[in-house]
Structure 1
């Protein structure tokens, strides 16, 4: 093979299928190379002999379907020259739902070819005209069973993700051109031959042919299975290599010190650790005492006590002479961590102060909105080692911030940070710091194994004593508009009982939305749907609702205040402090209160336009109530009509408070297996066929195979095709994301 030539999959598309089609595919679908097109796998397959149920066709989407022509009429256009061909096609069911109207402008061929009774495959974008579903100028392929042999009649028809200008049949034709001209000998198979033989998988050339133009559905399924395994193997081998490299890194051991801050902190705790907190604490203690960096993901339900577990790990590091940095995504959360950690430590966290323990440490807070004197003091405490714990936002990542001896990095709500941001903090240690990643977004085991596969995963499942259950109800205003006033009467009942209320809105003002509201780990699909709905539905804003609530009789005379990301930082801090003190009875907020905010006296959460948020965000938000032993209530307010798909999400959240069950439900409801979406990896999704929940056994098998391959050949010298696939298939940002979680 001539090494000067690009690999077969790297060839530009225009050199294989022509510039016109290649340019359209790049512009419409982002496909640039032979490999891009070959990995643009069919979404599904149509059987030639079966008509597509027209009632199931989604509105406003590009579709491909098989239907029979019911009528064909041609008439002159009234406003300008030319003709319109109007064709009605059917799926042979009774009633109007089984009909679809097609309109062709100057459609001479359609008039001649689409005769009554003809069966054809149509592709186009579904619209509506005068209350009827319609395709305008769709592309079509005639399916005349009499003119093909028996084998051809059984061949499934692939259906691709397409666009208005690049239809599915065009993609299928281009793929066939590639397959016919492809030099199979130049393709190297990422799956080792021994594994293919063991599992009776087709080789790479056969697999491409069978997934794009299968002779039978069984062939298509077998090829899809092979590519699912290939994705899993590439991901898991990348992770296994990262684990092997991490195991070779050196870290400063931070063993437990008897009689130190940790022991004194534990002795002063007014409660007993849950069994999970104690068990995970022992695991962290052992790993912190090793000379290789700890890399652990700590996940748990909202309010399960993750911060306490992390604080105990920080104290062990401080006892051993090191420092700990806690990176939080927002100033509200960073300030909340600072206040809760200093409160938990008491005198132990006020070392060097008159009311502090002489053997204690110091906690420093560093955020972007601090004044110059405050920032300078915090930076000096970090650089001198006076502060054992430094809590901050992105300000911690500044070049000017240094540490005396950074031993542990704790990242809270990891999905809010980019890879580079987390990496900057880890490079500030003399040796590689230990890493503890925390998330309150419950992650199913298979997803954790796929996305965080090089991190050891610890899970807190118990709730500490004093945490009350939260009751959640859907408030459907579309069919029960009278419930709106009952919501505010319910808020007044809580206030009269001496409690407080959160009200969450999806946007700040009439024309502005709160940035960053769609960052929950599994919500990228829902976020896109939410944005589309927002264009059709007037969403509730913080500023408008605050003004409205002052006119509601049930809340007359009650203190109501707004909180959102565009408030002046000092005003934001004072508002949150006032709510903590109980001076504010109703806090109308955006999702800045989504994580970490802890006000024990808040007992009611009202989420306006709840369908605007994803499952994990709703679960996070309602976790702000029921924190002080008081029963918590969450009302999910929606204007959507009954039967809308998003109502199913709300019903799922109302049905359970089990975050892990909800995260599985979230994945099942999503139509795409987008685990590494753009918000996670910084680039295109790498998962095409793999499904984290459905493909659990496949992922486990690939993980075992990857571990064995890397153990025998860490550099993959005997498996160059697998090594190349990792480089090509995982963009650098995605692989780095996998590395650090």
Structure 2
């Protein structure tokens, strides 16, 4: 049950004074969290923090007022300049002056009667806004305050500015926030006392009040103690939810997997290369987890081409030593088929049986595979979500390996392992993720980082080229094809739309076919599974030498002898996605290159992205830079990842608080697993406040 003290905060915003049905719908569209169907609670309004502030403390004269800064002027109204009928789109100007000079108060589409009432001729008024100068003449466009000295006394000198929505006035929203603050109860402190003291955090209520009732715009700085306090609260709630998920997964008794290492050794001997130090280190951690009677819940982070699949193979060989089966789950059918093809040759040499199960299997083929899985005849089953359908029964599922983990959320992690008796879970991603984001998304897991690339991999030469030189790039592509090379040509969209000027993959393929004929293939997300497979098979075999693709080839597609990738509109991609795409080449010993085609002129962010791509191939550095340039919301593709985004915390500005919150959450769950202590009860309120109700259910289920 939610603590009753929180009830006022979970009432609809329509219960606040001055918030009727129409306004509550507008506020709901602005502040309601995802999944709330646009219905906002009082809590949601309190967590809708100002994004800026109007500072009216600065009094200036017209002549000395700095450009682009909000100032308050005391002026006398002289006359009006209304536009003629022929120039209705021209603004109306109210001309005013003080002892230092003249200013035009400028309004677009303003009614003359309204302006004359607002600015009576001969009156002395206060006006606030930004001053700009055109041809040396001062102007203030749409002042944010106009009134007498008496009116100004009732106005806050520092006024918060909130993110807004059409149809909702700032005044109504501010009044709603003020009424919401009155509903805020005094809550028991949930932060551990030593952290509270070290960080000099103000109380929860005082923190919210100081941000909504600003005394100085500097209080909105992410480093402000009140803002840091609320960021820590949000991180702590998130990390507690992940810690409870972790405890739930670990609670089910695991088993010890792996015996004398004989099958692992046989599998390793089948490899045509030596393991890198990074692979050996990751395997040591994984083998130790598997040998323990506790369940393994581990994330394996590896850069593009670092050799995660080989690590997975050897982990699955260790499971076989104990007679257990392994399931390898891939997010797409292309990737599942590729894993199956890549692993099969090693499995044959190691004496491991392997099968592929996808949604495309039906009839007797499917029945045969299901029977072999149920009997234990198959050691390793590779596939998509089809691996976890109701009719798939495993004889003894001991290890679940999930590829491209960032596409699956916490709830899916829990459901993936229900096919076996508490199987170990190893999840892998080729998307290097900054440490802060790892804690945010995967705080319920132990983490291994796989550094380095297999021996023999050459650096990838990366160049940025303007679209003006497209003909030159096409000519170089032709020479590469004549030399026996294979190329990817990546386009952002499948087909042109009226709202986009991006070149479509289909259109680009047609253009390139005019030069290279049947050497050009096409792969995009709207093709059926068999069509994609056929196109990639043609590319692998060399029937086509250039494949035009959308970002469907971003993750995992492996054609080792492809040595050139051209990425159109590179300025439109995030850094991590560019890095993933570039990782499609440089997978063999021959020199490879990546051409970033961009449309000039470039913005500052796009320039910075392309510069980083030219400077480094280190995916972890690229991920850190991407976080700085884009923020956490886009980095993992939040909509597809099941990963939360934060309403108050800024992952870059508050990164130092995340680790502290993770450690505190784990310690609390270890010492007070049912949250029954005085602090535990306070923490329950925190979990409800920040929408982590599911964690409370895990607590009860545990």
Q: TM-score w.r.t. structure 1 length?
A: 0.81
- Partner residue, 1:729: 690
CA contact (8 A) 1:83 1:106 kept: no
1:465 aligns with 2:455: yes
Measured in 2, the distance between the counterparts of 1:145 and 1:400 equals 77
CA contact (8 A) 1:104 1:110 kept: no
Per the TM alignment, residue 47 of structure 1 is displaced from its structure 2 partner at its CA by 2.8
Per the TM alignment, residue 609 of structure 1 is displaced from its structure 2 partner at its CA by 2.0
Matches within 5 A, 1:79-228: 85-86=92-93, 102-106=107-111, 108-113=113-118, 118-121=126-129, 140-142=144-146, 155-179=157-181, 181-182=182-183, 184-185=185-186, 187-191=187-191, 195-197=195-197, 199-217=199-217, 221-228=224-231
- Partner residue, 1:710: 669
Distance 1:75 1:362, change over 3 A: same
SS at match of 1:7: helix
CA contact (8 A) 1:507 1:540 kept: yes
Find 1:564's aligned residue among 480, 503, 524. Answer: 524
1:655 aligns with 2:658: no
- Partner residue, 2:99: none
1:697 aligns with 2:656: yes
Measured in 2, the distance between the counterparts of 1:78 and 1:454 equals 67
Per the TM alignment, residue 101 of structure 1 is displaced from its structure 2 partner at its CA by 5.8
1:492 aligns with 2:478: yes
Distance 1:168 1:257, change over 3 A: farther
1:621 aligns with 2:622: no
Per the TM alignment, residue 345 of structure 1 is displaced from its structure 2 partner at its CA by 2.7
SS at match of 2:293: coil
Matches within 5 A, 1:436-585: 436-477=426-467, 481=468, 483-511=469-497, 536-552=499-515, 555=516, 559-585=519-545
1:272 aligns with 2:274: yes
SS at match of 2:82: strand
- Partner residue, 1:636: 596
SS at match of 1:702: helix
- Partner residue, 1:296: 298
CA contact (8 A) 1:83 1:107 kept: no
CA contact (8 A) 1:196 1:203 kept: no
Structure 1 range deviating more: 212-221 or 598-607 = 212-221
CA contact (8 A) 2:43 2:689 kept: no
Distance 1:49 1:652, change over 3 A: farther
Per the TM alignment, residue 385 of structure 1 is displaced from its structure 2 partner at its CA by 1.1
Gaps in structure 1 of 5+ consecutive residues? 58-63, 90-97, 123-133, 349-359, 512-534
1:75 aligns with 2:75: no
CA contact (8 A) 1:255 1:320 kept: yes
Distance 1:672 1:333, change over 3 A: closer
CA contact (8 A) 2:334 2:529 kept: no
1:385 aligns with 2:385: no
Distance 1:484 1:675, change over 3 A: closer
Report the RMSD for the aligned CA atoms in angstroms.
3.8
Structure 1 range deviating more: 109-118 or 208-217 = 109-118
Measured in 2, the distance between the counterparts of 1:509 and 1:724 equals 50
1:594 aligns with 2:554: yes
- Partner residue, 2:136: none
Measured in 2, the distance between the counterparts of 1:384 and 1:198 equals 59
Measured in 2, the distance between the counterparts of 1:457 and 1:262 equals 22
Structure 1 range deviating more: 616-625 or 655-664 = 655-664
CA contact (8 A) 2:299 2:427 kept: yes
Find 2:422's aligned residue among 432, 446, 455. Answer: 432
Q: Any idea what the Cα deviations from partners look like across 1:316-373, whole Å, max 9, x if unmatched?
A: 001111111111111111111000001233333xxxxxxxxxxx22111011223433
CA contact (8 A) 1:299 1:439 kept: yes
- Partner residue, 1:515: none
- Partner residue, 2:232: 229
How many equivalent residue pairs?
A: 663
Measured in 2, the distance between the counterparts of 1:599 and 1:468 equals 15
Measured in 1, the distance between the counterparts of 2:373 and 2:651 equals 41
Q: Any idea what the Cα deviations from partners look like across 1:206-256, whole Å, max 9, x if unmatched?
A: 222111113345655221121112112222222333334444321122123
CA contact (8 A) 2:494 2:524 kept: yes
Per the TM alignment, residue 453 of structure 1 is displaced from its structure 2 partner at its CA by 1.2
Q: Any idea what the Cα deviations from partners look like across 1:447-503, whole Å, max 9, x if unmatched?
A: 2122211211111111111211111122222xxx1x101111121222222210111
Structure 1 range deviating more: 485-494 or 163-172 = 163-172
- Partner residue, 1:520: none
Distance 1:121 1:168, change over 3 A: farther
- Partner residue, 1:394: 385
CA contact (8 A) 1:277 1:309 kept: yes
Measured in 2, the distance between the counterparts of 1:544 and 1:100 equals 51
SS at match of 1:45: strand
Per the TM alignment, residue 400 of structure 1 is displaced from its structure 2 partner at its CA by 1.2
Structure 1 range deviating more: 616-625 or 696-705 = 696-705
Measured in 2, the distance between the counterparts of 1:458 and 1:3 equals 39
Q: TM-score w.r.t. structure 2 length?
A: 0.85
- Partner residue, 1:41: 49
Measured in 2, the distance between the counterparts of 1:636 and 1:99 equals 48
Distance 1:721 1:733, change over 3 A: closer
CA contact (8 A) 1:600 1:628 kept: yes
Distance 1:575 1:382, change over 3 A: same
Distance 1:727 1:674, change over 3 A: farther
Distance 1:29 1:139, change over 3 A: farther
CA contact (8 A) 1:69 1:117 kept: yes
Measured in 2, the distance between the counterparts of 1:47 and 1:559 equals 64
Matches within 5 A, 1:399-410: 399-410=390-401
- Partner residue, 1:241: 244
Find 2:335's aligned residue among 333, 336, 349. Answer: 333
Distance 1:435 1:367, change over 3 A: same
Per the TM alignment, residue 426 of structure 1 is displaced from its structure 2 partner at its CA by 0.9
Per the TM alignment, residue 67 of structure 1 is displaced from its structure 2 partner at its CA by 8.0
Structure 1 range deviating more: 190-199 or 494-503 = 190-199
Q: Any idea what the Cα deviations from partners look like across 1:270-290, whole Å, max 9, x if unmatched?
A: 321111111111111111111
SS at match of 2:16: helix
CA contact (8 A) 2:26 2:165 kept: no
CA contact (8 A) 1:29 1:162 kept: no
SS at match of 1:635: strand
Measured in 1, the distance between the counterparts of 2:659 and 2:595 equals 39
CA contact (8 A) 2:241 2:695 kept: no
- Partner residue, 2:363: 372
